[in-house]
Structure 1
């Protein structure tokens, strides 16, 4: 049995869908007991688990062989994920950790949340695998201005980025969780091509048949805009830190990992736009 933490998030939701489609027994872990109840009522397996409360972790691991680990992004994320590692060590279960691009280098505030967890996992003595996806394509789904005004704005990054689809991350995770030969491996996950935001805007324009442009916001303007949308200050500052780290390069590498592990090429940018035309058009 696989325990999927972060079950309500983008990757967790996609992973559970993939595992169920493959007939793999999986237990979804939610912080909200109402989500747990809804899943159980609909015939699924679920448990209420709060990584900030170690007492809830042990019972959630009952009967579990492998944990898919991802905590909620926040200042205490590393501490909370290490709580799971401590419980996993006591239970002797395998851990597959969802991390972020170049987490081992600690280049960004988000990477620095994951870096100590990766280090603790490697030193734990447990069988482990680490997944490091690049920027998610799904970040564009949070840009209603593409539909409303024919533009999207992010903190300024001029260099290319090898965006990856969440569904491809989930397919890799499902493979790693259910097959042998991945212990002690770190996998960098990307899409098939690196694009600048300006090139991404051209892809939107081509698929949607109308002009779409990228507005690269200076850090102070980006911060004000994100705060005005109600984003927590911690998340805003973290995203600006990511933009600063990769503004002039560092996220353009393309790997073949998705295709190598799943036998299927990762989703390209134009196909992502086509799949989500109802959101963008």
Structure 2
């Protein structure tokens, strides 16, 4: 039995689709934890065991982890949480206890690059995510943290600006090269680990994409794919803060985003070398052609 959290999200949804296709040939059954089962297609609901509720609720977790062999763990965003610890380790504490009591053997979690870098202890959301990894690892389960850089898919939040103004923004230096990963590759990495549970112990699985890119590189690729000029504008941290606050984001979460932005510009994502094992296949151009362009044209 594999339990999947966030089955309607960008990563969890893609993972669920993959497992629905592959799990039967591996003799696996699937269970999902979802707050609103109505967000799952009817055909999907018919093929999985559904536990309704939030996966920080001990009662929900107790029901979901009964007879579970493996768990995919991803904490949802919480823009008004009182602290970063509450978003990550706090949300995970009930599950960590349930991993022990239910004898769950394998857990795959979504985390971030940065462990071992000089800025890892002052990287906001990333620092809190790494602490969550340590909490899960302390339970004795076999754990793999998917260590991710910035998601390519984050650009989907700026579709309107790209379409209407030919601009996307960010806080990193325009010519700083860094890895970026497509969420579908992260889901694929999770599926491989969940279906082949021959691994033991704890560790990280970096998902780095096939190449390092700067914001200027991305702007050139987007422009080429869309057939019109798109440029990158660097946003000051003050403007970034104002934008977050304008969307109702709480102070603790805003501070976490600002600290993460500073750390990324200081090399947070530079600590892992790309190899055939750490590279993921989707190029930024392919992602733009298959994901961004249809979204812009929609």
Q: TM-score, normalised by structure 1?
A: 0.89
Identify if the C-alpha distance between structure 1 residues 196 and 169 changes in structure 2 by more than 3 Å, giving closer, same or farther: same
Instruction: Compare relative contact order (CA 8 Å, sep 6+) and give the higher one, 1 or 2.
Output: 2
C-alpha deviation, 1:188, in angstroms: 1.3
C-alpha deviation, 1:38, in angstroms: 5.6
Aligned counterparts of 1:112 and 1:260: Cα–Cα separation in 2: 24
What are the equivalent positions in structure 2 for 1:186-265 lying under 5 Å apart?
186-252=204-270, 253=272, 255-256=274-275, 260=277, 265=280
Where structure 2 has 5 or more consecutive residues not aligned to the other structure, the ranges are: none
Identify if the C-alpha distance between structure 1 residues 42 and 233 changes in structure 2 by more than 3 Å, giving closer, same or farther: farther
Where structure 1 has 5 or more consecutive residues not aligned to the other structure, the ranges are: none
Aligned counterparts of 1:58 and 1:139: Cα–Cα separation in 2: 33
2:33 is the alignment partner of 1:29? yes
Structure 1 equivalent of residue 114 of structure 2: 102
Matched-pair contact (CA < 8 Å) for 2:223–2:230: yes
Q: TM-score, normalised by structure 2?
A: 0.84
What are the equivalent positions in structure 2 for 1:40-59 lying under 5 Å apart?
41-59=45-63
Aligned counterparts of 1:251 and 1:218: Cα–Cα separation in 2: 20
Q: Secondary structure at the match of 1:23?
A: helix
Q: Which moved more, 1:28-37 or 1:76-85?
A: 28-37
- Cα deviation 1:66-88 (Å, max 9, x = unaligned): 01111123431211212101101
C-alpha deviation, 1:37, in angstroms: 9.5
What are the equivalent positions in structure 2 for 1:159-178 lying under 5 Å apart?
159-178=176-195
C-alpha deviation, 1:102, in angstroms: 1.7
Identify if the C-alpha distance between structure 1 residues 79 and 109 changes in structure 2 by more than 3 Å, giving closer, same or farther: same
2:158 is the alignment partner of 1:139? no
Match for residue 81 of structure 1 among 85, 88, 92? 92
Aligned counterparts of 1:116 and 1:18: Cα–Cα separation in 2: 29
